[in-house]
Amino acid sequence: MAMTKTQRRRLSSTVRYVILTGWALMAAFPIYWMVATSFKPDTQWFSWPPVYFPHPPTLANYMNVWFGAEQYAQTQYAISSQKPFVSLWNSTVIASTSTFLSVLFGSILAYGVSRYRILSEARMFQLLMLRMIPPIVVVAPLSLYYSALGLLDTRIGLIMVYFLTTLPYAVWMTKSFIDEVPLEVEQAAEILGASRWRTIFEVVLPLIRSGLVATFLFILILTWSEYLLALILTKTQVSTLPIELSKYQGSTEGRVYGRQAALAVGITIPLMIVGLIIRKHLARGFSFGMVRR
C-alpha cells in the first residue's frame, strides 16, 4: 500500500465529505418533506409512488389553515381553521413573557452567584435538578393546584411554569457570561457612587448584552416548543401552536398531511430563524460551564 501523504490526505478529505453530506441529507430530508408537503394538492399527500416535488405547487394548504379560505362545509377539520393566529398570538405572548422573566431573574441570580456566591456550587447543581426531573411527574397535582387558584387555562399559569422550568438554564447560561466581566468595571462603578442595583442594571447587564440575547433566544426555543405542560394546563381558552397542531390529528381520522404541514411550517420557521441567529452560542446554553473557551 504505497500512498503518498497527499493522496492519503485527499482520501480522508473525500471520506469526510461523503459522511458529512450523507448526514446532511438525512437531517434535511424530513424538513424538506414537511415543506414540500405543505405545498402539495391533496391527491399527493399520501400517494404511491410518493411525490417528491409538488406539481403544481399550491398555496391552498396555507390559505386553508391560516386564513380559513376554503369551503367550510366540506371538511370537518375546518372547525379549527380560524384558530392558528390566536394560537400564534398565545404562543408568542407566553413564550416571550416567560422567557423574558426567566432571563431577567436568571441573570440577577447569576450575578449573585458569580459575585456574592449566594448559591454554593452544590446548590447550583441542585437547581439543575429542577430541569432534569420529568415534568410529567408533577403535572397532575399542578393542574389541581392551578384550578384551585383559577390559573388553569390562563396565560399567566403557563408563563409561571415555564419561568420555573427554564430558570436553571437562564442562571447557568448568563453566569457563564457574567463570569467573564472583569471585576474592575464594577469597582469603578462603585467608586463613582453607583448603588448595587444600578451597577447590575447599568453596568454589568449592558456589558453582556449579546449574551443576554443569546440566552433569551435559547430559552425561547424551549418554551416555544413545549408540549406536555401546555397540553394539560390549557383547555379551550388558551392554546399554543404545538397543541393546535396536535388537535388537527385528534379531530379527524383522515390524513390531512398538507394542512398539518402548512401549520407545522408556520410553527417551525420562527424557531429556526431564532436558532440560526444564536447558533454560535448554543453550546454555551447546554454545556453548564463544562466547556472552556
Residues in 43-62 at the binding interface with another protein, rule: CB under 8 A: 45-46, 48-50, 52
Torsion of CA 261, 157, 229, 268, to 10 degrees: 30
Nearer to another protein, 71 or 292 (CB): 292
Nearer to another protein, 2 or 276 (CB): 276
Pick from 4, 71, 191, 293: which binds another protein (CB under 8 A)? Answer: 293
Q: Does 180 interact with another protein (rule: CB under 8 A)?
A: yes
The per-residue DSSP string of 61-118 comes to: HHHHHHH--S-STT-GGGGGTT-HHHHHHHHHHHHHHHHHHHHHHHHHHHHIIIII--
- Find the binding residues for another protein in span 194-233 (CB under 8 A): 196, 221, 224-225, 227-228, 232
Nearer to another protein, 53 or 73 (CB): 53
- What span, in angstroms and rounded, lies between the C-alpha atoms of 216 and 284? 13
Instruction: Give min distance, CB of 42 to another protein, in A.
Output: 13
Q: Candidates 61-69, 71-79, 82-90, 121-129: pick the segment binding another protein (CB under 8 A).
A: 121-129
Pick from 103, 108, 152, 205: which binds another protein (CB under 8 A)? Answer: 108
- What span, in angstroms and rounded, lies between the C-alpha atoms of 72 and 29? 33
Q: Does 134 interact with another protein (rule: CB under 8 A)?
A: yes
Contact between 38 and 262 under an 8 Å Cβ cutoff? The reply is yes
Taking CA 187 as the corner, what is the angle to CA 182 and CA 191, rounded to the nearest 5 degrees? 155
- What span, in angstroms and rounded, lies between the C-alpha atoms of 52 and 115? 57
Contact between 209 and 156 under an 8 Å Cβ cutoff? The reply is no
Q: Candidates 58-66, 74-82, 207-215, 272-280: pick the segment binding another protein (CB under 8 A).
A: 272-280
Q: Does 33 interact with another protein (rule: CB under 8 A)?
A: yes
